[in-house]
């Protein structure tokens, strides 16, 4: 027999026997594996959620702190809705943009995006007053007034891409889609072939986005080139967003901008982050607690099962020792059994966590990934449970003399 070679090793025999043992009581093994799958699966997810929310806080802090908003001097907070100054007044214009690029600290500018707005008024609609925003495809879909962290999130279709530069395509807000286009259930199928009219021209709806509030969900984003073709805003711009390459350089850039651009208000947003930070922070703490709790549950579960199975088989331990098994061989057999159970639990956990990660990502709006890292957690979790759970009962059982072991009833 070819397989004879591996099983020639005494330890290999014990390992194999141990791995067969969970199947003695199929129903119990099934129950334990199911429970373990749940515990380990959720554990991995919670750990991932903790990490994801921490990462997101860090990323967000960096992103927001390095973001500077430029708007026309004296315009009101949310960006001069509708306009203290009608389009055509060109104090805040393409020239401003060029000046931004020429500030002394220009090398610290990671990204500069210009936006131009125009209200889209239709008194015949319930939602009479929406906003059309032109921007370079690829720039963040920043709803008006949202300087901050939550960029619009695509919920159906797609966002604008560079190929759309001159195309008559639009990404609309959820509220706009509902109230102006009559799309109740947002989905890819619902927007397929839908059009809207801007400045008398038809636009293809390619995507729907959502923010946290209705106001932000009431815009139409179109490529800035198309916007200019239709509305002819001339050199006028509504806003410029400047992203600085690192937090350390923000002050220098702000100082330069303030000095060089008298026509603009320079707004930084360090405080915008604080609300989001609190929310994410408590999420991260909650998932960390959940992870600890789940870990404890998993460990107790395996300890309990292994105590049960060593107790049940204490006579068998006695028999094995009586017919010549060493303590090590008996211990290895039981450890292998625990490892087999936990391993199956880990497998179940992987099957469970993969789809749950997707759901959780949606619900928490966090990138709770199911990736190599999650798999590593599941693996470590299973091994930890096997080791933790079996060590005490196995050592206790194995140390009995064969006669003591055989005398114990059940």
Instruction: Write out the residues near another protein by the rule CB under 8 A.
Output: 1, 3-5, 7-8, 10, 13, 17, 20-21, 23-24, 315-316, 318-327, 329, 401-403, 406
State in angstroms the smallest separation of the CB of 326 from another protein. Answer: 5
User: Least Å distance between CB 24 and another protein?
Assistant: 5
Q: Please report how close the Cβ of residue 1 comes to another protein at its closest, in angstroms.
A: 6
| For another protein, the closer CB: 242 or 339 | 339
- How near is the Cβ of 280 to another protein at its closest, in Å? 51
At closest approach, how far in Å is the CB of 404 from another protein?
8
Token pair 């916007």 in the structure block, residue: 227
Select 20 or 158, whichever has its Cβ closest to another protein: 20
Q: Shortest Cβ distance from residue 331 to another protein (Å)?
A: 13
Q: Which CB sits closer to another protein, 20 or 153?
A: 20
Dist. CA 275–CA 366, nearest whole Å: 16
Smallest distance, another protein to C-beta of residue 407, A: 10
| 372 versus 409: smaller Cβ distance to another protein | 409
Note every long-range contact of 31-36, with CB atoms under 8 Å and residues 24 or more positions apart, other chains counting.
Answer: 32/301, 32/305, 32/341, 32/345, 33/341, 33/344, 33/345, 33/348, 34/348, 35/301, 35/345, 36/298, 36/301, 36/302, 36/341, 36/342, 36/344, 36/345, 36/346, 36/348, 36/349, 36/382, 36/385
Shortest Å, Cβ 322 to another protein: 5
Spatial contact of 170 and 220, defined as CB atoms under 8 Å apart: yes
Is the CB of 105 or the CB of 327 nearer to another protein? Answer: 327
Q: Which is nearer to another protein, 7 or 213 (CB)?
A: 7
Taking the complex as a whole, the smallest distance from the CB of residue 380 to another protein amounts, in Å, to 30
- State the minimum distance, in angstroms, from the CB of residue 30 to another protein: 16
Which CB atom, from 20 or from 125, has the smaller least distance to another protein? 20
C-alpha torsion sign, points 71, 77, 79, 80: negative
């Amino acid at each position: 027999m070819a397989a004879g070679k591996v099983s020639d090793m005494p330890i290999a025999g014990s390992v194999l026997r141990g791995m067969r043992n969970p199947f003695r009581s199929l129903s119990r093994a099934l129950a334990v594996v199911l429970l373990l799958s749940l515990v380990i699966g959720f554990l991995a997810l919670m750990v991932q959620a903790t990490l994801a929310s921490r990462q997101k806080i860090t990323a967000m802090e960096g992103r927001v702190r390095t973001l500077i908003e430029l708007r026309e001097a004296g315009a009101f907070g949310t960006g001069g809705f509708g306009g203290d100054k009608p389009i055509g007044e060109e104090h805040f214009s393409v020239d401003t943009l060029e000046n931004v690029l020429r500030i002394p600290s220009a090398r610290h500018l990671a990204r500069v995006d210009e936006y131009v707005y125009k209200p889209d008024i239709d008194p015949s609609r319930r939602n009479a007053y929406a906003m059309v925003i032109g921007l370079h495809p690829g720039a963040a879909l920043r709803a008006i007034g949202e300087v901050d962290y939550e960029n619009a999130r695509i919920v159906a279709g797609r966002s604008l891409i560079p190929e759309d530069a001159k195309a008559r395509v639009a990404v609309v807000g959820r509220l706009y889609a509902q109230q102006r286009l009559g799309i109740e259930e947002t989905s890819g199928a619902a927007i397929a072939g839908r059009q809207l009219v801007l400045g008398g021209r038809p636009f293809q709806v390619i995507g729907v986005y959502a923010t946290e509030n209705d106001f932000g969900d009431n815009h139409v984003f179109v490529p800035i080139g198309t916007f200019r073709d239709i509305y002819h805003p001339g050199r006028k711009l509504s806003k410029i967003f400047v992203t600085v390459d690192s937090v350390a350089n923000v002050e220098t850039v702000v100082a330069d901008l303030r000095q060089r651009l008298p026509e603009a208000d320079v707004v930084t947003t360090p405080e915008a982050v604080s609300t989001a930070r609190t929310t994410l922070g408590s999420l991260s703490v909650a998932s960390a607690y959940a992870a600890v709790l789940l870990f404890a549950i998993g460990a107790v579960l395996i300890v309990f099962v292994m105590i049960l199975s060593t107790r049940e088989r204490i006579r068998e331990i006695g028999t094995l020792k009586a017919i010549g098994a060493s303590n090590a061989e008996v211990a290895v057999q039981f450890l292998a059994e625990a490892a087999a159970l936990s391993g199956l639990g880990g497998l179940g956990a992987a099957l469970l966590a993969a789809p749950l990660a997707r759901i959780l990502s949606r619900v928490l709006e966090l990138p709770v990934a199911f990736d190599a890292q999650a798999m590593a957690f599941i693996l470590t979790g299973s091994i930890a449970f096997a080791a933790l759970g079996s060590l005490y009962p196995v050592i206790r059982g194995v140390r009995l003399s064969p006669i003591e072991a055989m005398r114990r009833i059940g």
